[in-house]
Amino acid sequence: MEYELSKEPLLTASQIEERVQQLGLEISSQFQVDLVIGVLTGSFIFVADLVRCLPNTIQVRFIKASSYGCSQQSSGSVKISSLEELDLKNKKVLVIDDILDTGRTLSCLLEQVRLAGANIVKSAVLLDKPSRREVSIEADFVGFSIENHFVVGYGLDYAEGYRSLPAIYKMSIPSP
Ligand code: IMP
Ligand code: MG
């Protein structure tokens, strides 16, 4: 059975633009960011828009995080690449991901950033699906809290497609 894109966006490009600008103000008022770490690939558009709403002295780096399933631990683990290349000592770091789902990726990543010596570590996600959480974690800055839909667009993919859509759409299975 094929997945189908919703006809209307769940979040329009202008809703996203407005919220990203608000997030930039919220973040800047609470926290002086030295370094943004974007989680590839899903966050690339969100990071590009959000950093343009933050002071221009911030540094921007990307890392790749991939779920490793439960290779050794029952809590599940996440493979994170390129983090060791970053100098995080005494930095104020904002980790940015596209969506907080089970919470595994972000909780693992935040722990590793802290272990690498960052001074302050905060997180921002464009979307939050609280009903899907398996690990107890909340992001410091959330764009939109959504129901348990699978969504694509504005960086988020289905099978690596749909990332370039300017708005966010639900992917649904058509009724038979
Ligand atoms: P978590 O570790 O389960 O919180 O996984 C978060 C990651 O799962 C995100 O960075 C996305 O790459 C992916 N993901 C979760 N929900 C969706 C969705 O609705 N659409 C696209 N990707 C998703
Ligand atoms: Mg991702």
Tokens (6 digits) for 95: 């980790």
Ligand 2 midpoint to CA 39 (Å): 6
Q: Residue 173: is its pLDDT beyond 70?
A: no
CB of residue 100 inside a 6 A radius of ligand 1:
yes
How are beta strands 4-5 and 169-172 bridged, if at all?
Answer: antiparallel
* Strand, helix or coil for residue 30: helix
CB of residue 105 inside a 6 A radius of ligand 1:
yes
Own/partner long-range contacts of 66-70 (Cβ < 8 Å, ≥24 apart): 67/104, 67/105
CA dist., res. 26 & res. 59, Å (int):
18
What tens digit of pLDDT does each residue of 68-110 get?
543 333 355 778 888 889 999 999 999 999 999 999 999 999 9
What tens digit of pLDDT does each residue of 43-63 get?
999 999 999 999 999 999 999
- 129 CA: nearest ligand 1 atom: 16
Positions marked active-site: 101
Q: Residue 141: is its pLDDT beyond 60?
A: yes
Which pLDDT score is estimated for 84?
Answer: 87
CB of residue 128 inside a 6 A radius of ligand 1:
no
Question: Which mutation among 45, 47, 101, 150 tests ligand 1's pocket best, with the greatest number of atoms within 8 A of CB?
Answer: 101
* Strand, helix or coil for residue 21: helix
CB of residue 99 inside a 6 A radius of ligand 1:
yes
Whether this prediction's pTM lies above 0.95 is answered by no
E-strand stretches of 68-110: 78-81, 92-100
What DSSP element (H or E) covers 15? Answer: helix 13-30
